[in-house]
Amino acid sequence: MASLSRLPILLLFLLITAFSSAVSQSFIGVNYGQVADNLPAPAATAKLLQSTAIKQVRLYGSDPAVIKALANTGIGIVIGIPNGDIPGLAADPNVAAQWVKSNVVPFYPASKITLVNVGNEILLTNDQGLISQLLPAMRNVQSALAAASLGGKVRVSTVHSMAVLSQSDPPSAGRFNPGFQDVLKGLLTFQRDNASPFAVNPYPFFAYQSDPRPETLAFCLFQPNAGRVDSGSGIKYMNMFDAQVDAVKSALNVIGFNDIDILVAETGWPYRGDSNEVGPSVENAKAYNGNLIQHLRSMVGTPLIPGKPVETYIFALYDENLKPGPTSERSFGLFKPDLSATYDAGLSKSSQTPSTPSPSPKPTTSSKWCVPKTGGVSDTQLQANLDYACGHGIDCSAIQPGGACFEPNTVASHAAYAMNLYYQTVGTDPMNCDFSQTATLTSTNPSYNACVYPGGGSSRVPVEAGKINMISNDGFSNVRNRLSIMKRVLLYLFLFSIY
């Protein structure tokens, strides 16, 4: 049995290890496209990635220079097989064996290859010959990986467009196109047997383009909005990303594959577009990607996949200046060729800890409070802001009956308190005081009587302000995460005592 004097040290070590593991989950990735003639050298890109919170990189091919550059960085690598290679891989297992021998074996494990995507959006090509060859190609690649002793270490999948769904609204009605169901069932059975994820490309940007209303924009950008109630499930969705992912989840459930993980292979928002394009702008791209990252770090998940973030790859690391199509197609890059950020999406390492509201926000020294703009903001919008803020894990008890800030009992007053508390709690980035452009920062302390607005350098932050509301999804998520950690700690202690 272990000496009791060693247990405190062991406990401390295990707690640190467990919490570090929980914080550093690799669920934020980026797509590294190379249809460009001005990209930085792979070695420079590898250094850039190491300076960020990005833990996964998805390639559309298997460029050896990039794979080598990412060796020993700890960054997970997803590599791709072009659509044109599928017939050869499907027809001859030796072709798959040679592909694995050339593109995976020489680099693994120094280069942390985790997934091979065979083809991209094959079902949408409507090429029946190619579609029929997809599953045999995936099987042959999987067999080749197993023969190279990489079975279970490197998974095999393929990437789908959201257009494989015939219906996605409301999310509970998510269904696959009947014409694809037989093919999908074959693919999903293979993926279940090999524990690989269903990879899909949801883009709220395109949803907004088809419905360019202000309320839709707020819904797509994770900004305060009235939400949308799923008429089938009764669930109230507060953003388009969750709605799209849950539509896929519903479709998987209907055909009997509720145990398959979903991987978001692409999602993003362009920061520039042509004059006739609706939605592209730096402000919108920053809001979408920044709020998406914050949403993933909150560990809330989606209503149908609660308590864990969906592994998500943002499109894209750089602009690809040789891509055809509208300007937006060449304007998704998070970084410029000189390695500077196009805008701040919150990817710096200093911001990679989960952004779930902390039990008691520290007073800021910025002398700023977040309040509604004067005039022109309707009670409907203020109510939406209030619902959004209080629905994201902050403690709104101060504006409940009997609370210090309940009076005056008006939507404007309650919204002002909740908006400021949200801003002070999740981080005093001006982006967190946007609320669909209905809020502003002020240096005038809005506190009154016994009602204290936290922040602004004030030392009068109420003890309860910012406490996580344990009945919220955020709260339950955090409870689950902590229980999981403690279970691991207790298991380790038990095993150690036996040893």
State residue 402's pLDDT score.
Answer: 86
State residue 464's pLDDT score.
Answer: 35
Fold of 26-351: TIM Barrel (3.20.20)
State residue 350's pLDDT score.
Answer: 58
Within 8 A by CB and 6+ apart from 118, the residues are 80, 81, 86, 89, 134, 137, 138, 141, 156, 157, 158
The SS3 assignment for 246 reads: helix
Domain over 369-467 is classified CATH 1.20.58: yes
Pairwise pLDDT comparison (426 vs 168), residue with the higher score = 168
pTM of the model: 0.74
Q: In which residue ranges of the chain is CATH 1.20.58 found? A: 369-467
pLDDT score of 244 more than 50: yes
Residues that are catalytic: 121, 266
Model confidence pLDDT, tens digit, residues 365-375: 446 899 999 88
Q: In which residue ranges of the chain is CATH 3.20.20.80 found? A: 26-351
- The arithmetic mean of pLDDT across residues 460-478, rounded, is 33
Please list the alpha-helical segments (H only) found in 123-232: 128-147, 181-193, 204-210, 214-220
Token pair recorded at residue 449: 């009587």
Q: How many residues does the chain have?
A: 499
pLDDT score of 433 more than 80: yes
Within 8 A by CB and 6+ apart from 157, the residues are 115, 116, 117, 118, 138, 191, 196, 197, 198, 199, 263
Pairwise pLDDT comparison (358 vs 225), residue with the higher score = 225
pLDDT score of 355 more than 90: no
pLDDT score of 468 more than 60: no
Model confidence pLDDT, tens digit, residues 103-134: 999 999 999 999 999 999 999 999 999 999 99
Model confidence pLDDT, tens digit, residues 194-234: 999 999 999 999 999 999 999 999 999 999 888 999 999 99
Model confidence pLDDT, tens digit, residues 290-334: 999 989 988 889 999 998 889 999 999 999 999 999 999 999 999
